[in-house]
Amino acid sequence: MDDVKKALNGLTSAEVKKQRELFGTNELQAEKSETFLTKTLEVLREPMFLLLIAASVIYFLLGEARDGAIMLIFVVGIISIDIIQEWKTDKTLRALKNLSAPLITVIREGVESEIDSKELVPGDLMIVHEGVKLPADGVIVRQSDLRTDESTLTGEPEGVWKTVSTGQDVSDDYWRLDTCYAGTLVTQGTAVVRVTKTGTATEYGKIGAAVATVIEEKTPLQKQTAGIVKASAAIAVVLFLLVGIVTFFNIPDHSLGGRLIESVLAGITLSMAMIPEEFPVILTVFLSMGAWRLAKKDALVKRLPSVETLGAVTVLCVDKTGTITQNKMTVSETWAPDGDEPTLCEAMGLACETKPYDPMEKAMLTYCRELGITEEHLFGEDLITEYAFTDELKMMGHVWHHENEIILAAKGSPEHLLDLCALTDEERRAAEDKAASLSKTGLRVIAVGMMKPDSPAQIPEKLTDARLHFRGLVGLLDPPRDGVRDDIDVCSRAGIRVVMITGDSGETAASIARQVGIPDDAGVVTGDRLEDMSDEELREKVKTVRIFSRVIPAHKMRIVKALKANGEVVAMTGDGVNDAPALKSADIGIAMGKRGSEVSREAADLILMDDRFKTIVETVRDGRRIYDNIRKAVGYVFTIHIPIAFSALLAPMLGIGPASLFLLPLHVVLLELVIDPTCSVVLERLPAETAIMQRPPRKPDARLLTRKTLGMSVVQGLAILAASFGAYYITFMSQPSNAPLARSMGLGVILLANLFLVFTGSSDTESLFVSIGRLKREKTVWISSFGIILMLTLILYTPLSGFLKLAAPSGLQLLTILCLAAVSVLWYELVKAVRRRRRRSEMSAPNA
């Protein structure tokens, strides 16, 4: 193939450009990007902004143009924050999508390179191999054992063997054998394909199968919070009326028009304070930023809801080869019963793929080369037949013309291959014993057999019909990855069970399991045993068993289902084409970015770019952190809205006139300007709690806002309400003419309480000092804290205070504000201390 590749130079960049202009990009549907204008309009449609605008209009109507103007400035501020936020989220999501875009290898200007499938143009030469999903239609220029699954187009489940295009159509069907079609899979072999049709011109495009756009599904969290937002809005409407009416009757001395306008204004203030418009923002921002941070750590999340699910994972089913081990194989032992090692190795080599993809085969060929058995020697003559590897048979073979003979060489798992070998009972036992002893040291053992048919007529049709001469065993070493032991340890402490799944033998699997610290005391379940089990038996088994061996992809599916039926949240890795169903049915399907097939990547929720087990554990940890932060942020928003909403409600109820109210619309907006960035920027970045991987996974059905956390948020909010409204009310009672000062006292308490809340709320159990230590390096936390203090100084002690209807408190009053704010929030530290004590005694209690 190499010499031909030389002749295949592919397109030049000038040609690519020309083709692109002629045919466009290889997409079924062009992506439409939202314009800045539509985004702005979207933001403006939010009820919050309608309220804001209404409030400023009312100010203007009242003839208070200055207030109206200040209000408008704030509105612009909030809108800008929102638009920037949305724009950033959009950009992040688009970048993520591009990262997971399917790639394809092409030859252009004589060089092989990987490009985004979208970039393909007619005339391009694609190089495809097992596991590739074809991105365009094309004719086959070169191929070796190419087989494709065209069921997506033809409905025909049987694979199709492909042929090189000779220019004439040899197929007797609409679907040509010398053509590969977009949307179909390469299940075996390799080929060079010249693209003929791209995008909607492909057969796949014509069917329009994939044209239906993917609907971004709402995450469970989004649904849950949408409910909360709706409920709050409904309450807001009721309170709007209530406050409006109360205000109306509070001010009999105003004109009727004046009374109406004041009542509407009071109602609007309250509604603004009531609507937790931050909730939806928190979710999209936290999830997408979370996904972005994960991408930087080589874990590509394909569906946003997965970020949420990750933190709840209870069982991690991982492939042994490549995930737990390095997938860097070397032949470390050979055993030929007749002592003829060279023949064993030659047979092993002949049974390998000529262009191996699998590290094991590469290792075998390397080993042969070291013994002087070159690939030219092995594969120099004609390949007559191939017996393809199947997961069920776990063996494969080739028939070659080799040095004037016909040689059938086969290799595979000892259990299966020995059945084909002519052996006496004694010889067989010797072979099995040797295989077992090699496996026990963690080696993958492959048996090799050979036969020499006298004539082509004697070549068996199927490998299972062959009668082989047993040549010996090969042991391959694939050491565990560095640090896997520690990572598995982290998982056990975090209450996550690691289950190893492998096509290898039980002994090999158990040995590797022991090396990395997966307990094998519950035994090993083999694929055959699994086959005999009923679903109920399997459900019982998966509760304890940690090792599954000689498994085929269909078994993975059953294991996932059994685990899920037991209420587990299952993450499962997979790389092969046949793993796709299991990946789909797992809660989190994890595909491998390096060695995985395109099909598995497509089916997965998460792609591990570096194939490392460590990354999975890191991802789970981040999933927990993100979920924690969402919970904390939602709790925060709840808490901080309570003093604002209730103040807006209480003051009119107490018969305080419109001009002396605690919070005017201005102040509500001012507070929103602080709250918005606090939750979307500061809380999003909160680092994981120190013990985040030392607690069990959250219950999968756990609601974001349980009655308990909600209750705690409400209590916290009420405490701040008592402090802030109390400060305002007492000051107001003692100096009824100085509403601005009273207001400053109350507002100061809320702002400082907000500051304390971020620190103390950053953990459910840690003490404030531990939290501060953890947050030490979080710049945003400190910048925002400083910002709040600066803002408070500016609005109280500069001419701004006049504009904002505030007044400068004295030193003593300032100290009072600080103390009140601290007390209203920091009592929560006591609750945390009690929790810590309880947890400690739980941990030290026996059988806990």
Interaction site with Mg ion (CB under 5 A): 321
The binder of ligand ADP chosen from 82, 149, 361, 684 (CB under 6 A):
361
* Region binding ligand ADP by CB under 6 A among candidate stretches 124-132, 262-270, 313-321, 833-841: 313-321
- The site partner of 125 among ligand ADP, Mg ion, none (C-beta below 5 to 8 Å per kind) is none
Selecting among 67, 124, 319, 504, the annotated active-site residue is 319
Single-letter amino acid, residue 709: T
Task: Please name which of 460, 469, 477 lies closest in space to residue 418, comparing C-alpha atoms.
Answer: 469
The C-alpha atoms of residue 505 and residue 62 are separated, in whole angstroms, by: 83
Q: Is 140 in the site for ligand ADP (CB under 6 A)?
A: no
The binder of ligand ADP chosen from 133, 293, 411, 625 (CB under 6 A):
411
Q: Is 413 in the site for ligand ADP (CB under 6 A)?
A: yes
Q: Is 270 in the site for ligand ADP (CB under 6 A)?
A: no
CA 261 from chain center: how many Å?
Answer: 50
Q: Is 434 in the site for ligand ADP (CB under 6 A)?
A: no
Active site residue 319: yes
For residues 194 and 320, which CB has a smaller minimum distance to ligand ADP in the complex? 320
- The site partner of 334 among ligand ADP, Mg ion, none (C-beta below 5 to 8 Å per kind) is none
For residues 267 and 349, which CB has a smaller minimum distance to ligand ADP in the complex? 349
* Residue 787 CB-half CA count within 13 A: 14
Residue 409 has phi, psi (to 5 degrees) of -115, 135
The C-alpha atoms of residue 677 and residue 758 are separated, in whole angstroms, by: 12
For residues 260 and 388, which CB has a smaller minimum distance to ligand ADP in the complex? 388
Q: Is 507 in the site for ligand ADP (CB under 6 A)?
A: no
Interface with ligand ADP (CB under 6 A), residue total 19
Rounded to a whole number of angstroms, the minimum distance from the CB of residue 410 to ligand ADP is 8
Both structure tokens of 266? 């009071």
Q: Is 504 in the site for ligand ADP (CB under 6 A)?
A: yes
Rounded to a whole number of angstroms, the minimum distance from the CB of residue 576 to Mg ion is 7
Task: Please name which of 458, 470, 309, 494 lies closest in space to residue 384, comparing C-alpha atoms.
Answer: 458
- The site partner of 427 among Mg ion, ligand ADP, none (C-beta below 5 to 8 Å per kind) is none
Query: Are the beta carbons of 714 and 705 closer than 8 angstroms?
Result: no
- Angle (CA) 177-182-187 rounded to 5° is 65
Q: Is 744 in the site for ligand ADP (CB under 6 A)?
A: no
Q: Is 556 in the site for ligand ADP (CB under 6 A)?
A: no
* Residue 104 CB-half CA count within 13 A: 27
For residues 448 and 651, which CB has a smaller minimum distance to ligand ADP in the complex? 448
Rounded to a whole number of angstroms, the minimum distance from the CB of residue 486 to Mg ion is 25
- The site partner of 444 among ligand ADP, Mg ion, none (C-beta below 5 to 8 Å per kind) is ligand ADP
- The site partner of 502 among Mg ion, ligand ADP, none (C-beta below 5 to 8 Å per kind) is ligand ADP
For residues 512 and 637, which CB has a smaller minimum distance to ligand ADP in the complex? 512
Report how far apart, in Å, the C-alpha atoms of 542 and of each of 547, 563, 567, 826 are.
9, 6, 12, 46
The binder of ligand ADP chosen from 51, 185, 265, 446 (CB under 6 A):
446
Q: Is 287 in the site for ligand ADP (CB under 6 A)?
A: no
The C-alpha atoms of residue 347 and residue 517 are separated, in whole angstroms, by: 36
3-state secondary structure of 724: helix
The C-alpha atoms of residue 396 and residue 387 are separated, in whole angstroms, by: 5
Q: Does an H or E element contain 528, and which?
A: helix 527-532
Rounded to a whole number of angstroms, the minimum distance from the CB of residue 486 to ligand ADP is 22
Q: Is 389 in the site for ligand ADP (CB under 6 A)?
A: yes
- The site partner of 446 among ligand ADP, Mg ion, none (C-beta below 5 to 8 Å per kind) is ligand ADP
Q: Which positions from 799 through 838 interact with ligand ADP, judged by CB under 6 A?
A: none
3-state secondary structure of 197: strand
Rounded to a whole number of angstroms, the minimum distance from the CB of residue 476 to Mg ion is 11
Q: Is 622 in the site for ligand ADP (CB under 6 A)?
A: no
Strand ranges of the sheet holding 606-608, from the earlier edge strand across to the other edge:
299-301, 606-608, 588-592, 570-574, 315-319, 497-501, 547-549, 524-526
* Region binding ligand ADP by CB under 6 A among candidate stretches 90-98, 157-165, 496-504, 604-612: 496-504
Q: Does an H or E element contain 288, and which?
A: helix 278-296
For residues 323 and 615, which CB has a smaller minimum distance to ligand ADP in the complex? 323
The binder of ligand ADP chosen from 143, 321, 744, 762 (CB under 6 A):
321
DSSP state of 211: T
For residues 264 and 344, which CB has a smaller minimum distance to ligand ADP in the complex? 344
The binder of ligand ADP chosen from 183, 503, 665, 748 (CB under 6 A):
503
Rounded to a whole number of angstroms, the minimum distance from the CB of residue 598 to ligand ADP is 18
Q: Is 502 in the site for ligand ADP (CB under 6 A)?
A: yes
- Angle (CA) 82-35-198 rounded to 5° is 130
Contacts of 553 (CB under 8 A, 6+ apart): 391, 574, 576, 578, 579, 581, 582
* Region binding ligand ADP by CB under 6 A among candidate stretches 319-327, 525-533, 633-641, 712-720: 319-327
Q: Is 394 in the site for ligand ADP (CB under 6 A)?
A: yes
Query: Are the beta carbons of 153 and 181 closer than 8 angstroms?
Result: yes
Cα-Cα end-to-end distance for the chain: 64
Helices 739-760, 613-653: crossing angle, 10 deg rounding: 160
For residues 89 and 325, which CB has a smaller minimum distance to ligand ADP in the complex? 325
Look at the block and give the residue holding tokens 């006139």. 657
Query: Are the beta carbons of 413 and 425 closer than 8 angstroms?
Result: no
For residues 232 and 321, which CB has a smaller minimum distance to Mg ion in the complex? 321
For residues 444 and 564, which CB has a smaller minimum distance to ligand ADP in the complex? 444
- The site partner of 541 among Mg ion, ligand ADP, none (C-beta below 5 to 8 Å per kind) is none
Q: Is 716 in the site for ligand ADP (CB under 6 A)?
A: no
Rounded to a whole number of angstroms, the minimum distance from the CB of residue 75 to ligand ADP is 59
Strands (E), 539-675: 547-549, 570-574, 588-592, 606-608
The C-alpha atoms of residue 432 and residue 415 are separated, in whole angstroms, by: 8
Cα torsion angle, 65, 67, 73, 79, sign: negative
Task: Please name which of 90, 108, 478 lies closest in space to residue 319, comparing C-alpha atoms.
Answer: 478
Query: Are the beta carbons of 384 and 456 closer than 8 angstroms?
Result: yes
* Region binding ligand ADP by CB under 6 A among candidate stretches 354-362, 423-431, 452-460, 488-496: 354-362
- The site partner of 529 among ligand ADP, Mg ion, none (C-beta below 5 to 8 Å per kind) is none
Rounded to a whole number of angstroms, the minimum distance from the CB of residue 395 to ligand ADP is 5
Look at the block and give the residue holding tokens 């000062």. 741
Contacts of 789 (CB under 8 A, 6+ apart): 755
Rounded to a whole number of angstroms, the minimum distance from the CB of residue 468 to ligand ADP is 13
Both structure tokens of 817? 């504000």
Rounded to a whole number of angstroms, the minimum distance from the CB of residue 601 to ligand ADP is 17
* Region binding ligand ADP by CB under 6 A among candidate stretches 271-279, 317-325, 366-374, 706-714: 317-325
The binder of ligand ADP chosen from 444, 561, 564, 624 (CB under 6 A):
444
Single-letter amino acid, residue 501: I
Chain position whose Cβ is nearest to ligand ADP: 503
* Residue 244 CB-half CA count within 13 A: 13
* Region binding ligand ADP by CB under 6 A among candidate stretches 215-223, 315-323, 655-663, 685-693: 315-323
Both structure tokens of 463? 């490998």
Look at the block and give the residue holding tokens 């049974």. 351
Q: Is 149 in the site for ligand ADP (CB under 6 A)?
A: no
- 286, with CB counted inside 10 A (0-12, 13-18, 19+), is buried
Query: Are the beta carbons of 332 and 477 closer than 8 angstroms?
Result: yes
Return the active site residues: 319
Contacts with ligand ADP by CB under 6 A lie at 319-321, 358, 360-361, 389, 391, 394-396, 411-413, 444, 446, 502-504
